[in-house]
Structures are given as structure tokens and as C-alpha cells.
A and B are shown apart, each in its own frame.
Chain A
Amino acid sequence: MTRRERGPSAANQGEPLAVRVGLILVALAYLLLFLMMPLLAVFTEALRKGWAAYVHAVSEPMAWSALKLTLITAGVAVPLNLVFGVAAAWAVAKFDFPGKNVLVSLIDLPFAVSPVISGLVFILIFGRTGYLGPWMQAHGFKVVFALPGLVLATVFVTFPFVARELIPVMQAAGREEEEAARVLGASGFTIFRRVTLPSVKWGMLFGVILCNARAMGEFGAVSVVSGHIRGKTNTLPLHVEILYGEYNYQAAFAAASLLAFLALVTLVAKSLVEWRSGRRQEGAS
């Protein structure tokens, strides 16, 4: 590595070798300490009692149901936020209307509010003594302490990801292509499907990946509305927390390793998308 650093590009930067190596070491140490070590720790702890214990911990019914619930919640929340995000970004980037700035600020709201508060708000609305709670109970809907509540909380928390990712991409693309399509006789939906969407598909995919990562890992809001009913309303992060609270470290880390694994898959997908879209942009310029 050091040999490479002495290459022609490093030579003309004029910094002494010691400074360069020092800075790189600091950066590497930081990465190691705050990113790599925790990740390694998760897998080491998970496998501390051997492979059999690990397999048992991740295949016991409670872990399975938590994993399933996490995937279902993300599976519902992400498509919902994809539809919403695309619609919002399209509206914000391509049209002028009164209240546009308010909408943009509203999209960011979940970033600004603590997830726990968002969870509490849903309890306040749908809970047993909440605004809509009694009516819902009378009509047999169960939101809080059930799957709909988990989905709602997740949707709320992961709401901005797709829209935030798409708005700048769509704004950068401008409105001229859409106008051109309109003059050529295309209907609104055709323009959206054949002109707007293809030009932002990589940005969209990127937003979906980020949204999904957050949806699967969400703890705060989900924790409040879940009620922690094991095997029923426990998502993977909640499951980890319960196991940890019971001093069952090995099982907790085993479950956490599943989450870490999902995160790694997401990261790889994200890098692939970045690499693809980066290559496309190079080709376009």
C-alpha cells in the first residue's frame, strides 16, 4: 500500500511522507475502531458457543418469526414509501404549486423527530384511549401492538428516503424532456413512464435500498408500538434487545448477525447501484 502511495499522483501533492502515512493511519484506525470492530464483534460473539448453538439461535421459532416480521414490515413499508416518494419528488421537481415549500419541509419531518416520539404519536392516535382507538376497536381493527402499527411506524420513519434521493435527481434533469414529450403528444402517464422514470431509475433504486436498510433496522418507533409480544409483534431488532435483556448474549448476537448480514447485502447492492449509475453518468457527459 505504501508503495502505491508514493506513485506519481502522491508525489506532486507536496506533503511529507510522514504526514501522509500518519493521516492514512488515523483514518484507518478510526474505521477499524468504529466500523470493523463492532461488525466483527457481532459475528465472533454469535459464534462463541460454536456453530450448532448459532444455528439453533437463528432457527428457533421466535427468531424465525422475528425475521419474518421484519421482512414483512419492510416488504410493505418500502413499496408504500417508493410510491409516495416518487409521487412527491415528481410533484416537487416538475411542478410549481402553492405550499410546495411546506411539502418539502414535511417530507423531512421524520428526520427531525425522534423515532420514539413518532411511535408515541401512533399510540396517541390508535391506542386504546387514543383519538381513533375506541372506534377502531369497535370495528375490529387492531393497529397498535399488531402488524399494522409496526408498518405504520416504519413507514413514518422511512418516509423521506426515496423522495429525498429523487428530488435532486429529478430537479437536475429539468423539465425540458417532459415538455418535449408533451409537445409530441404523450399523455401525463406516458411521459412519467417513458421519460421521467427511466431517467431517474438509478436514483430511485438507491433510495429504495437506503429506505429498506432503515426499515429493517428501525428500533425506536417500532419498539413503542410493538408491545413486545414474542413470536407475534417482535421484529428482529426488538428480538435482539429482548435476548440481550435476558443475558442470553450468544443468542442476541446470533440474531444481530442476521441483521448485520442483511445490512451487508444492502451495502453490496448499494455499491453496485452506485457503480452502475456512476458509470452511466460518465458515459453521458
Chain B
Amino acid sequence: MSIEVRNVTKQFGDFVAVRDVSLRVPSGELVALLGPSGSGKTSLLRIIAGLERPDAGQVFFEDQDATHSDVRRRGVGFVFQHYALFRHMSVFENVAFGLRVRPRATRPSKADIKQRVMNLLELVQLDWLAHRRPSELSGGQRQRVALARALAVEPKVLLLDEPFGSLDAKVRQELRRWLRRLHDDIRLTSVFVTHDQEEALEVADRVVVMNQGRVEQFGTPQEVFDHPATSFVMGFLGSVNIFHGRVQGGHASLGPLEIEYPDHPHDEALPAAGYSRPHELEVRRSENAGGGFWATVRHASITGALVKLDMATDDDRPVQVDTTREQYEKLRATPGERLYVRPRQVRIFVEPDKAPAE
């Protein structure tokens, strides 16, 4: 079932959590809401669930206006950041809860409930823990119980709030791959909130990058990573070198960089910044191609196949360059040496008054 959000705004006191957000999640996709804390991603998720009422705008499920329908009737499964398992019930009872509280007319029989709960527990590989209390489980196990509980009511949409937020790194990795596989099996339209860009890029079909209550970009992981729409997206997704300066008359002067910029042919000078990821910079011994600048190597750290060069421009601004091990050995560069740095790609954003999070 597709989800659509139209011009949704939500305010808590003076704080605008969500500003005029519109978004469409196609049926069967797994979408990540990605942003720093306070960017409105959790508020947006709760509005979709019906746990929060938008001040303005509408929510549609499969083109049906659900803005005013009660959370109980929306048919959503919701997984809370801190699991919110019922502490006084066993794992089995937690998962069965949604079925047991149905009105008698639609409530499955006891045997059916048992069957379904056990099937779900098998799906999340926890059938052997059915009679334990949530307090006796590990974080990852609790998270999977929460997921089974959400799936028990056969939701049309699955919403997950920071599903891996409170787990340690290793469990996190395993669980997100597992979630991806599960999604490929059941193909349930799913939205999850995360502040971890790696997680979003790895797991999701599409990523919604949010900042200060607005959607900065909506696209596939590759789109948002390779073609960031705004300086914020550029800065938020991975490390980046920023060159501040200005654009004027079809030309950009960005600190050590002088680049053609036909997008702004006017005489008026505007503040601008150029963004290059460390792997988009290359280092050489000579200046022959031009378009770059000289910088001094301060430190080189070899991390597997990649070498991270910590460099400084002549006016002492730091520059990060990633190069391959091969390239680095060919250069035979040593700390203190000057090398020519040339960007293969620079993205220029005019008026970067919205400084990126980095």
C-alpha cells in the first residue's frame, strides 16, 4: 500500500518539527527517513502512524485520505525505538496482544492465535523464547519481538522508529541486513527513521534526507549520494571537503580553487561553497593539467586498500584526500612533501548560509 504525505506541518509550541512536507512512498518499498536529531523525521513517522495529528496537510494510504482516521484503524505496524514491549507479558503474549484485543467478531480462535504467533516467532527466529519475559532478552531479541508484534496484526504499512538505534554496532549490522532480507520476502511498504547515513544507504530503496523539518532530497541511495540536491545533503552523507568563496561572471573563486561556473554568468558576486568528497580529489607530483592547488602532506594513514591523506593548503586549511594504495605507492609521498591536488568533481552550491552539519 502506498503512503502519501501532502503539505504536512507540525508544530510543538514554538518549535516547528515538520514544515510543509510532501512525499510519496510507493507500494512495497523500504524507505528511510534520514536526518540529524531534531530534523523532524520521527515526528513525520508518528504523523504517518496517526500517533500525532498534523497541524496542516494530509496523509493518504493508497490514495485514501487517512488524516482523520484513528491510529487503531490505520492498519499500521509500528516498532518503537525503545521497543515498548509490555513488560509484564511473555514474549508470546506480547505478539498475541494485537489479535487478542480485537472485537469478538474478528478475533481469531485461540488455536489460530497460537498458530500465527508461533509462525511469527519462527520468522524472527525467536520461537524458542516464547515464554520468556522481555526483561530476559537481549536488545536485538527485543527488537525482533517488537517487529513480530507489529506484524501480528497484518499491517498494510510497517513503520520503524530508529529500529537499530539502541543496539551495539555488530548486532546492528546483522539486524539491518536481516531486516532487508525480511522486507524482500514480505514486500510490505515500510518506512524507517534513522540518523545513520550508512544504515539508510545500505538498507533502503529510497532515502528521504530531512533537515530542520524540511525534505532536502528524496531519491535512491545512489542519487542522494552521487547527486546531492543541497549542500546539507552533501555534507550529511559522508565526509566532504568544503571550499568557501564566491561566484561571479561565470566563474567560481573558492579559496585555492578557480573553476568555470556558467550557471551564474551575472556580474553580481554571490557567496558560494564548493564540495568535494575525499575520493573525488586526486594527488599528483606535477601541475600539468591545472585546475587544482598545491598542498602539503601532513599525515598518511593506510586503512586496508585505501590511503587517507591528511593535507593542508598553503594558507593552512585542512584537506582530506582518499587515494588507492597502488596510487600512493607509485607517488612515494612522505609527510612534509608538497603535492598537487586536483578535484575530479566539485559541486558548487550558491549561498551556503545553511551550513552543513559537518
Residues 93 to 118 of chain A near chain B (Cβ within 8 Å): none
A-B contact count (CB 8 A): 63
Shortest distance in angstroms between B254's beta carbon and chain A's nearest beta carbon? 48
B221 contacts across to A, CB distance below 8 A: none
Shortest distance in angstroms between B300's beta carbon and chain A's nearest beta carbon? 48
| Distance between Cα atoms of A183 and B97 in the complex (Å) | 11
Q: What 1/0 mask marks residues of chain B from 64 to 93 whose CB sits below 8 Å from any chain A CB?
A: 000000011000111010101111100000
Given known pairs A195-B86, A284-B87, the reply for A182 and B72 (CB within 8 Å) is yes
What is the number of residues of chain B that contact chain A, defined by CB distance less than 8 Å? Answer: 24
Is B131's CB within 8 Å of the partner chain A? no
Out of A176, A283, A285, name the residue touching B84 (CB < 8 Å): A176
Is A180's CB within 8 Å of the partner chain B? yes
- A186/B80 in contact, CB under 8 A: no
Is B239's CB within 8 Å of the partner chain A? no
- A284/B135 in contact, CB under 8 A: yes
Chief secondary structure at chain A's binding surface: helix
B88 contacts across to A, CB distance below 8 A: 198-199
Most chain-B Cβ atoms within 10 A of its Cβ — which of A187, A190, A195?
Answer: A195
| Distance between Cα atoms of A284 and B87 in the complex (Å) | 8
| Distance between Cα atoms of A146 and B150 in the complex (Å) | 56
Q: What 1/0 mask marks residues of chain B from 118 to 162 whose CB sits below 8 Å from any chain A CB?
A: 000000000000000101000000000000011011000000000
Is B302's CB within 8 Å of the partner chain A? no
Q: What 1/0 mask marks residues of chain A from 167 to 185 whose CB sits below 8 Å from any chain B CB?
A: 0000000001101111111
Given known pairs A177-B86, A182-B71, the reply for A187 and B101 (CB within 8 Å) is yes
Given contacts A183-B51, A185-B153, A199-B86, 12 further A-B contacts (CB under 8 A): A177-B86, A177-B87, A179-B51, A180-B84, A183-B49, A183-B76, A183-B77, A184-B97, A184-B98, A184-B153, A185-B98, A194-B101
Closest 6 CB pairs of A and B: A184-B98, A176-B84, A180-B84, A186-B101, A183-B78, A284-B135
Chain B residues with a Cβ under 8 A of chain A: 49, 51, 71-72, 76-78, 80, 82, 84-88, 97-98, 101-102, 133, 135, 149-150, 152-153
